[in-house]
Amino acid sequence: MASRTQRTVYVVRNNFEISCFSNAFKIRTFSTDKRRIINKLPAKHIGHIVAIGHGSISTAALELCARYGVALTVMRFNGAIVANLFSLKNSCLKAVNMPAATTIDKDFCFILGKKFCTEKITAQLSMLRAWQRRSPQVDFRFEIARLAELLRRLVLLKSQSLESLGGLEGLSASSYFSCLRVRARERFSEFYSNCRTRRPPLDFLNCLLSFAYSLLIAEVSVALISAGLALGPGFLHNGREHGRRGLVLDFMEPYRISIADRTVLRTVNRGQINVKSDFYKDEIRGGFYLTESGKRTLVKEFERTMTTISRLGKIAASHKDMRGEMIEHAKVLAGLILTNTNNTSNRNS
């Protein structure tokens, strides 16, 4: 895969065309006044292209992605991911198949599932404590105490049951979102939300969160593939309903809070999203979705978060941005899985 220090390019326009000219991508888009805009970007400077909306991608452009190891994510305009395309040019094929082998080891699945769940609740707890410091007039102490208790129960959990992990994770998500919705409507009452809704998102806040999570899934997928991990069943999310996104959903849990939720709240609190011009209601499917201008605003803020120097754990000392921190985290996960695979193979031989 291409180096994650390279640029991520977002194409947020309807009727885009992505082709190539020599060793550069040629991206044609059209402005609101129908004026054609052409950008030529050298492939060697790009690590990931995220195309959002309706358009066309030439075969030559796909070949250029494969040659330079550029990842390509295609999303519908409502935020649903249609396809993730990756080049395995610099990946180890043995490593790519690791998760399928390790899902047989139930004890190891539980250990990693517990790890992901612990990271998520720890991130939620840290975020709530930060909100309490910044907004002492809002009382989050009950939810903070509840999350701390859930984290304590999780650390002491010994029942080797993924269902028990899912129960604790569900309780923590409920407490956290009750605070998130209060924080979002603190300045703008239009962003009030009763509960988390996904398909379709039934209010402005859920609409922003769903789109931010789609952007995060694209980033996490690239990080996992770059580390040589297959996008297969996960350890915490391993049901049929999760399909091939299970490992992605596992890995992204703590990043939901530190990247996606933080981006959404910053965008809302700074008044960068206009409820009249940046959302529309789909009368056929129901729910609210972002307009083109709303998507561009959120994408800009999301990329700003991804290029912010990480303050998470040991990675903070290396001055990596969030994108770099994510790939280092993925490499650590790949090492754990590879070690377990080798140990399992040795025991069976």
Query: Residues 122-148: pLDDT tens digits?
Result: 999 999 999 999 888 888 999 999 999
Nearest Cα to Cα of residue 72 among 18, 13, 5, 30: 18
Residue 278 identity (one-letter amino acid): D
Q: Domain spanning 96-348 has what CATH number? A: 1.20.120.920
- Phi, psi of 17, deg, nearest 5: -135, 125
DSSP-based three-state secondary structure for 5: coil
pLDDT in the model for residue 109 = 81
- Identify the residue with better confidence: 232 or 264: 264
Cross-strand pairs, 85: 72
The percentage of residues in the chain with a pLDDT greater than 70, rounded to a whole number, is: 83
* Burial status of residue 321 (CB atoms within 10 A of its CB: 0-12, 13-18, 19 or more): middle
Q: Domain spanning 7-90 has what CATH number? A: 3.100.10.20
What is the rounded average pLDDT of the residues 210-233? Answer: 86
pLDDT of 229 > 50? The answer is: yes
Distance, CA of 176 to CA of 78 (rounded, Å): 25
Q: Which pair of tokens denotes residue 22? A: 């020599």
What is the rounded average pLDDT of the residues 295-315? Answer: 79
- Phi, psi of 249, deg, nearest 5: -65, -35
Q: Which pair of tokens denotes residue 225? A: 């593939």
| 158 confidence band (pLDDT: 50, 70, 90) | confident
Average pLDDT, the chain: 81
DSSP-based three-state secondary structure for 47: strand
pLDDT in the model for residue 325 = 87
What are the residue ranges spanned by the domains of the chain?
7-90, 96-348
pLDDT of 46 > 60? The answer is: yes
pLDDT in the model for residue 94 = 43
* Burial status of residue 318 (CB atoms within 10 A of its CB: 0-12, 13-18, 19 or more): exposed
What pTM was estimated for this model as a whole? 0.82
What is the rounded average pLDDT of the residues 22-38? Answer: 77
Distance, CA of 119 to CA of 58 (rounded, Å): 41
| 342 confidence band (pLDDT: 50, 70, 90) | low
